[in-house]
């Protein structure tokens, strides 16, 4: 069964903590993701909102809280892990030493292999389907080809908004799928 990785986006949430918590809780109840990422590149109160995020995740036995790009904050908040960008490969070792699970954003097969060799636990590989401003879609065949080359757990990412796309991904050996828009449709 494909694992679900819910990624937050500011456009679907409020900066008001109570509203943020309510919306997040509702989405968890509706979709039952196994992984959830707090990602908000513009929030000046990122740390405090991340704390609210981890607290909501903790209300669900099956939701693993992931913090975007900040190893120290993920460790401080006792999150399950950290999601590093494709520019943060040098942070993998530090995160692992702190006991965090590591997910790395990747966009090429070479990046996936590098993340695996450096000890990351998971990668997102994107874009699988057409996504605004994210370049040419790789497609499911490319995803399956990648999966035959590596052992690392791969979340398909990019343009996943419909059940038919999830069905196509489920026919590969993907560990799961990650999305923003699918979870807020």
Mean pLDDT of 61-79: 97
Show the domains of the chain with their CATH numbers: 3-184 (3.20.20.70)
Task: Give every CB contact of residue 25 below 8 A, 6+ residues apart in sequence.
Answer: 56, 59
Cα four-point dihedral sign 139, 121, 102, 111: negative
pTM recorded for the entire structure? 0.95
Radius of gyration of the chain (CA): 15
Residue 99: pLDDT band (50, 70, 90) is very high
**pLDDT digit string, tens, across residues 101-144:** 999 999 999 999 999 999 999 999 999 998 877 789 999 999 99
Determine the angle formed by the axes of helices 139-147 and 109-117, rounding to 10 degrees: 30
How does strand 176-179 pair with strand 153-157? Answer: parallel
């Amino acid at each position: 069964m494909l694992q679900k990785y819910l990624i937050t986006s500011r456009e679907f949430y409020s900066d008001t903590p109570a509203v943020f918590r309510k919306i997040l809780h509702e989405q968890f109840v509706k979709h039952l993701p196994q992984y959830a990422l707090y990602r908000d590149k513009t929030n000046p109160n990122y740390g405090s909102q991340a704390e609210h995020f981890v607290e909501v995740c903790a209300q669900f036995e099956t939701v693993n809280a992931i913090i975007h790009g900040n190893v120290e904050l993920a460790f401080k908040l006792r999150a399950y892990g950290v999601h590093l960008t494709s520019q943060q490969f040098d942070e993998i070792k530090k995160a692992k030493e702190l006991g965090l699970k590591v997910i790395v954003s990747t966009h090429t097969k070479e990046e996936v292999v590098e993340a695996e060799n450096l000890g990351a636990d998971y990668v997102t590989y994107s874009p699988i389907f057409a996504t605004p401003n994210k370049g040419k879609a790789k497609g499911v065949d490319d995803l399956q080809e990648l999966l035959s080359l590596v052992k690392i757990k791969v979340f398909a990412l990019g343009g996943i908004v419909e059940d038919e796309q999830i069905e196509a991904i489920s026919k590969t050996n993907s560990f799961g799928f990650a999305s923003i828009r699918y979870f807020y449709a």
